[in-house]
Structure formats: C-alpha cells, structure tokens
Structure 1
C-alpha cells in the first residue's frame, strides 16, 4: 500500500528520534554505576580547585572531598555494604511487598480488579475502568498488563470500541503511580529516596510514605472524572464504532470459592481497620502523640508495618478460603515468589545507593544545592514558576528514562536539597516529580509495557502501530499533566496539606 511508504511526519520522526536515543542509554544499573564513577572523577576535580561551601544548617565550611584519594578509597570500600543495607527505600519496599505480594500471588488482587470492572453498571463502565486502573497501582506494574486487555474485553462485550477501553485502562494504570486511596509500594520507594536526599541538608528531616497521601486521594477522584471524560468525549468519537472482526476471548475461570474468599478477606480487612481505629481512639493511645494527635505520631511512623500486616491478613484469609494456602509453609512460599519479582529492583538499589552516598560524602551535592539555590535567587526564579518548570523538565526527561525510581534517584539528590534551600518541603518536590513522571510515562515509546499493550491493541486492529498508540495516549497524557498542574497550584496557593502535616514550605 502507498501509505506504508509514506514519509513519516514531523511528530513521528520526533518520536522515532526519542526512541533511538533512549535505546542507546545503558541499563539503569549500569547507568548509576557510571554516574558513581563520574562523581568520583568530579570530586577529584572539585577538590583540586579547592571548592568548598558553607553548610546552610550548621554554618560549617565544607570542602569538597576527593573520592579518588586514600581517604576516599577507604570510604568507598568500608561503606559499600552499609550504603546498600542502610538505604531507606530498600527495607520500606521489601516490607510492603511481602504483604502486597502475598495478596497478589494468591490471586486476590487480580480477582478483585476483574470483578470490579465486570460488575460495573454499563453507564459507569468507563469511569470504573479508569478508577480501577488508578487503584490497580497497589499491585504495582502488574496493573499495566492486567487492566488494559480486561477493559478492552468489557468494552467489546457491551458493543463499544474495545480499543477505547484498552486506552483508558492503560492510561489510568500509568497515572495510578501518583494516585491511590491507599499507601502503595511507590509511596514507600519514593519517600525513602527523598529522605536520603533531604539528609544532605538536614539529617532530621524524614519524608514518610504518607506525606503525599492527601494529594493522592484527591487525584484518584479528579483523574477518574477527567480520564472518563477524555475517553467518552474524545477517544471514542475519534475511533468511531468498532467494525473489526476480533475474536472474543473467554475469561479465565475463577477458582470455585473466589467470591467467598474475597468476602472473607474483606471482612477480615474491615475488622483489622476497626481494631486500629479503636486503638487510636483509646485514651493515651500508644499510636498517637502526647497531645492525642496523629501528626506526628507512632501511627504514621509505623504505617508500613500496619499496612504490611493488613495485606498479610487479607491475603492469607483469601488464600486459605480459596485453597491456595494449605499450610504455613505456603504463606512463606508465596512471599518468596513476590520477593523474586523484586530481584531486579534490589540489584538497581545497590548501584543507586552507592551513587547517592558518594554524591553526599564528597559534599558535591551540598555544593550544587547551595550554589544552585543562590543562582535561582539571584535571577529571582524561586516561586511556583520554578516548580512548574521542574515539572515540565521531568515530563520531558521521562521520554529518555522511564524507570520512575531510577529517575527520582537521579533527580532527588540535586533538586530536593536545592529546593530545600529555597524553603520547599522535600515532599512537595516529590509531588512535583510524581505528577510529571506519571503523566508522560504512558506516551514514551521506551516504556516496556507499551509493546505488550500494543500487541493487545493489534488483536482488534492489525494495522495499529506505535504511531496509533501514541496518538491514543497523548490526549490522556496532556490532560492529566494539565489537571495535575492545576491541582498543585490549588494546593500551593491555598496552603492545603499534601499529607499529614505537610505543606509546600518547610
């Protein structure tokens, strides 16, 4: 066909260029290993020129230390294990995934997601797909593979264009990394990296997994509406009525007792939450602070173990009822399977932890933060415009580095201390990062799940390609980004907390 030999348009050539450049980037582990080496080289250069900086907290003058010196070599060798095992995100994420992974491996999360979408009233199918896609983030990346084909199948069953369902499901699952009603693994991972970065300036600051919780909760409902409107008002009219000849696939059969198992797990989870609330309301509760409040409190400090026990409980109850868990050994076995899925993350954390540790020990991070902040003050670029600029920068960077954790590990040691110098809370900087990352990860051709979802799309349209995929995702990406920017402006100017006790400013 003539159209197959047609010269690609400007937009397509731009995306092809991004894909080509991005594919040449090394694996994230190698990338951070190279960055660690570059920090060593930079520290030697800075040290040779006598670079120093006054620490904003202590007033002490800090010279940039040479990692290539005898002292530096000693630090590299003696701190390597501590850098890794003491890296805050490692324990947080592994603990979270012990519980969430158990619930996923016994089949509870998949069953709950599937039934929620299938039982949605026809008039609410679109919004249910978007809502479940966002909430599916609790199952981490699995949502981006599970929800899109299921949404396409449901749309097809009710006579709507299945590609529209696929697009809505994938867009929502991608956006879900910055929107959830519950605390998810992403919250633990990013807050841990933020804490490590904040320590460059102030050792006392801790960013907790709940520090973006209020913003995330509001995002769920706002994006559900926005995503649903984009689907019904733009995507479906553009696609038109589906006239393909796709073969409807049968759903995999559910375990015989799956419904009863989910009911039992829901009851157990409800009882657990009621127990926690009862303890919080006790006079002189061990979960509240001295004034009886929750900000700060042992409850917030211990939110990860509380969530861990919740998912262990509901996952175990579901697994026992459905017959997947027959003995205590099975619980440990399913948790072990969940840990296997995190093997690549653990390897990446080893490299990230060394890079951040070297960056901090050498005092290069402090030097950049202080001098960068001074430069921004000198040019009078320190207000909300700076934050918007940072959001757009990260959204663009997402086209080259798709791993959310890797990108934040790269950005946090630079931007968190720098923005702290300008008076911004690390959790506020983290929110700005998250909305940028979540908005454009669904359109970058380097996202590994794009190929999988594209293959699902080609079941309904054999001619669909990367251009088709990007054209469908771009309206969601732009709309989500603009919506989130408006939301962050509202939170900023009204000084609305982003999480318990967390406002834009320190």
Structure 2
C-alpha cells in the first residue's frame, strides 16, 4: 500500500508539473502576435544598436556593416515600402501553397485516408505494429492530418485483432507525431522548412539555397529505423503496461469504405506509374534540361524544381482516384477540392505575413549578421563548437516544443539566429535544419500545446472513460525518449562517417 501511495504521489506531482507547463504555454500570445512582438523588438533593438554605432565585418565579403536603425527615416521608408514584397516574396509561401494544392486534392477525394486504411488492415498479423508505425511515419504526406487519421484507425485495427486498442492508438499517434519529419518522399514539410532555411542563410550568403531534397537521405533511413523503434516500444513497453483490454466498446472497422475504393487505388497506382515513366523519359532523354551540365542529377534543375514535380504527382493521383470513386465528375470538382485545401492553409498564410516581416527586419538591420558573427566568435573562444554543440541545440529545440508547438513557427523563430550562427562555424544550413527537425519532431507527442494532443486524448477516452492527460503523456514518453536517443545516435553516425544528409549535403559548407 505504501508503494502504491508513493507512486500515486509521484504521478500527481508529475501531472501537476505538466499542467503547469500547459498553463504557462496557454498564456503565450498567438504565434502571429509573437512575430508581431518580435518585429517590434527588432525595431527597438535596431535603435539601441545605432546609438552605439554598432557594426560587424561580414565574414564573406569583408565589408563593414553598420546596424541599420528601423526608427530612422530610411527605416520607416523600408517598413512601408517592403511590407508586401516581404510577404509575397517569402520563399515558403508559394512553395507550401503549391504543394498543398496537390496533397490537398488527394486528401479531399479520400485517397490518403483509404491508402492508410488499406495498408494497415492488409498487413500480416505479426507485422501489424510495424505496418502502423510505417504508415504513421509516412503519413506526414498529408501534413498534420495524419495525426488525426491514423491513431483512431490504428486503435480499431488493434481492437479487431484482439489487442489493446490503446496500444494501437499510441503507436499511431507516436509514429505520426514524433516521426513527423521522416518520409521516403519529399513532401510539404521539406518545402516549408527549406524555404525558411534559405531565407535565413541569405543573412550571410544569398547564394546558398536549401532545397526540399537536402535532408532526404537521412529521412529515408529514419523511416525504417523509427518504424522498428516504434514497434519495439509498443510491444515491449506499452502493451505489457496496458495489459488486457476489458472495455465493452464495439466498433465496425469497415463501415466507411467506399465501394469503389479498391478500383480507385488501382487506377491511382497505374496513373502514378505512367507519371513516373514520363518523368523518367524526360530526365534521361539526351540533352535533357532537367539534368546538370555534366549530365548528373546532384545538383540539377530537377532537384531545384522538385516542388512542381511533387505537385503534378499528387494531382495525377488525386484525379485518378477521384474520377474512379465519383468524387470528381468534372474539372470544376477538382478545382473546388484544391480551393478547399488552400482554405485549410489560411492560418499558415496569416502567420507567414507576420513572420516574413520579422525576418525581413532582422535581415535589413544586420542584427542577424552581428549575432551570428559575435556568437560564433564566443563559441570558438570557449571551445564549444563541435558535434556536442549541435546535440545541445537539438535538446534545446525539443524543450522549446513545450512553449511553441508549431514546427514552422518555431523554425521561423530559430532559423534567422541559428542558421547564420552555425554557418559561421562552418556548418551547412541543411545540416542545422536536420538537427532542428529531430528536436522538433521528438517531443511533438508530449506537449499539451499540440492541438492534436487534445484530439487524440478524446479518442483515448472512447476506450477508457477514466483516462486523462497523464494517461496519454505516460504512453507517449517512451516513444519520445526512444526516438530522440536513436535519432541523435543516427545523426552522429552520419556526422562521423561523412554520410550525406541529402543529395550532396554533408555537415560542412
């Protein structure tokens, strides 16, 4: 009895601690307002810097750059005349919206959901856990939608085969949330983050371009490694902890499947093969402009222009499936679905308006260059410049998830500071971006500020009426710790062996 009371006391303290984090996080302003306040902070900081005639020597050109004052007449003119250009010229905006036209079409016609359902349900019983983990990690093709679609489907599958449904829900949410950054394909997240990285790198060198493919190789390996890790955590830790399910919930797993879903998947697969065949023909034809001058693909116009290729692929898939199941009867229907997907991105568009102004001000004032150069010199002086600095940065980002849950918002905050800072130490922006992605993804599933955390909690309560936030947190912590540790080990292996993180991308510039 004493041990049980002690355990309850510990759990109560831990839950109070998590609730305290939630209260603090909920008191933070909306991310849009955070960027507004940061822009105001940069304006004030530029004035203070100018009072001391602060300047910095640009490491690339040797030019002495004065900190420009945004409260001067020239600064006021810049604020007014650049506002629209800062917004419309912000790299991630067009890239993400273009990608989401295709992915949104495929999601709206039901292709992504049925593909997830079929992949999980058709897996051999001994491989079900691995199948769910794999599909969950790959689910970020549908962006955040995967965190809503996959957990309840995974719970239903586990229930159907006589296993604890909460274990299925756990591996579904963990793989879709904590494994969010990994994928075998180049998806919207890659386009979004690489655009922000390119903007941040331009603070020091506007010739460096981070493409959506620059973390691809590491992400491919991550898919298979994390699939195994998620499955092992589920079967060795989560299921023994949960024991036998004794609830009385009754579920009809196959009730919502479209009668032409199988035919739709077949036609979508055939359309994909045709699309890839045409793309391959265009790539390998003699004199193809999609290859570089030496005839290679790394780097090449194909990789630089990968976003239109991805857009075209998802449009082909969505149209083939939609026409088959009757969701698309005319071009007007397809356009309507794409319009709906852009409506879903309205929050992102509003956020980018504020973020783009902050980053533009940060760049124009030269404060970013000043911070990067002086920060790099400080780290060099204290001899803290190696891989352990990067690991420290990963852990810092993972903890920041408890205050800011939006991955794009966090990277828009961090990139203008850390990308130039690590460039000064010789690290490639895509390498820094990969470190960020590891820290950001790992703790997605344990922060109550994640909007999908509450959604999944409601799914959990359908199976266990007494379950609370602490229940879900306790289920997710083993995944978070395992993913973070394994990812850091992988990161160090790539670092020390010289393996490329993406096409032509090594840690150093």
Q: In the alignment, which of 19, 22, 41 is matched to residue 22 of structure 2?
A: 19
Aligned with 2:180: secondary structure? helix
Q: What is the CA–CA distance in structure 2 between the aligned matches of 1:38 and 1:249, rounded to whole Å? A: 55
Partner residue in 2 for 1:442: 445
Partner residue in 1 for 2:415: 412
Partner residue in 2 for 1:49: 52
Shift of residue 8, structure 1, vs aligned partner: 5.8
Q: What is the CA–CA distance in structure 2 between the aligned matches of 1:6 and 1:462, rounded to whole Å? A: 22
Partner residue in 2 for 1:324: 327
1:89-139 Cα offsets, whole Å, 9 max, x none, are 001100000111111111111111111111111111000000000011000
Range 309-318 or range 418-427, more displaced = 309-318
Q: What is the CA–CA distance in structure 2 between the aligned matches of 1:46 and 1:190, rounded to whole Å? A: 30
Q: TM-score by structure 2 length? A: 0.97
Aligned partners of 1:284 and 1:290 also within 8 Å: no
Aligned with 2:235: secondary structure? helix
Aligned partners of 2:298 and 2:504 also within 8 Å: yes
Partner residue in 1 for 2:356: 353
- Rate the CA distance shift 1:7–1:427 in 2: closer, same or farther, 3 A: closer
Aligned partners of 1:84 and 1:350 also within 8 Å: yes
Verify: 1:107 aligned to 2:110, yes or no.
yes
Q: In the alignment, which of 368, 375, 379 is matched to residue 376 of structure 1?
A: 379
Partner residue in 2 for 1:421: 424
Verify: 1:486 aligned to 2:505, yes or no.
no
1:318-363 Cα offsets, whole Å, 9 max, x none, are 1111111111111111100010000000000000000000001001
Partner residue in 2 for 1:285: 288
Q: What is the CA–CA distance in structure 1 between the aligned matches of 2:229 and 2:179, rounded to whole Å? A: 13
- Point out where structure 2 has 5 or more consecutive residues left out of the alignment: none
1:228-265 Cα offsets, whole Å, 9 max, x none, are 00000110011111112223244442222111111011
Matches within 5 A, 1:125-144: 125-144=128-147
Aligned with 1:177: secondary structure? coil
Alignment RMSD, CA only? 1.4
Shift of residue 7, structure 1, vs aligned partner: 8.3
Shift of residue 284, structure 1, vs aligned partner: 2.0
Aligned with 1:82: secondary structure? helix
Verify: 1:468 aligned to 2:471, yes or no.
yes
1:469-494 Cα offsets, whole Å, 9 max, x none, are 11000000000000100000010001
Q: What is the CA–CA distance in structure 2 between the aligned matches of 1:8 and 1:38, rounded to whole Å? A: 40
Q: In the alignment, which of 158, 163, 181 is matched to residue 160 of structure 1?
A: 163
Shift of residue 153, structure 1, vs aligned partner: 0.6
Partner residue in 2 for 1:503: 506
Aligned with 1:310: secondary structure? helix
Shift of residue 301, structure 1, vs aligned partner: 1.2
Aligned partners of 1:136 and 1:176 also within 8 Å: no
Aligned partners of 1:134 and 1:177 also within 8 Å: yes
Q: In the alignment, which of 54, 79, 84 is matched to residue 82 of structure 2?
A: 79
Q: What is the CA–CA distance in structure 2 between the aligned matches of 1:149 and 1:503, rounded to whole Å? A: 39
Aligned partners of 1:194 and 1:207 also within 8 Å: yes
Q: What is the CA–CA distance in structure 1 between the aligned matches of 2:493 and 2:414, rounded to whole Å? A: 25
Q: In the alignment, which of 309, 313, 321 is matched to residue 312 of structure 2?
A: 309
Partner residue in 1 for 2:13: 10
Verify: 1:171 aligned to 2:174, yes or no.
yes
Q: In the alignment, which of 193, 210, 214 is matched to residue 207 of structure 1?
A: 210
Partner residue in 2 for 1:124: 127
Q: What is the CA–CA distance in structure 1 between the aligned matches of 2:221 and 2:374, rounded to whole Å? A: 36
- Point out where structure 1 has 5 or more consecutive residues left out of the alignment: none
Aligned with 1:487: secondary structure? helix
Partner residue in 2 for 1:300: 303
Q: TM-score by structure 1 length? A: 0.98
1:387-434 Cα offsets, whole Å, 9 max, x none, are 000001111111110000000000000000000000000000000000
Verify: 1:68 aligned to 2:74, yes or no.
no
1:59-113 Cα offsets, whole Å, 9 max, x none, are 1111101101111110000000000000000011000001111111111111111
Q: In the alignment, which of 397, 403, 421 is matched to residue 400 of structure 2?
A: 397
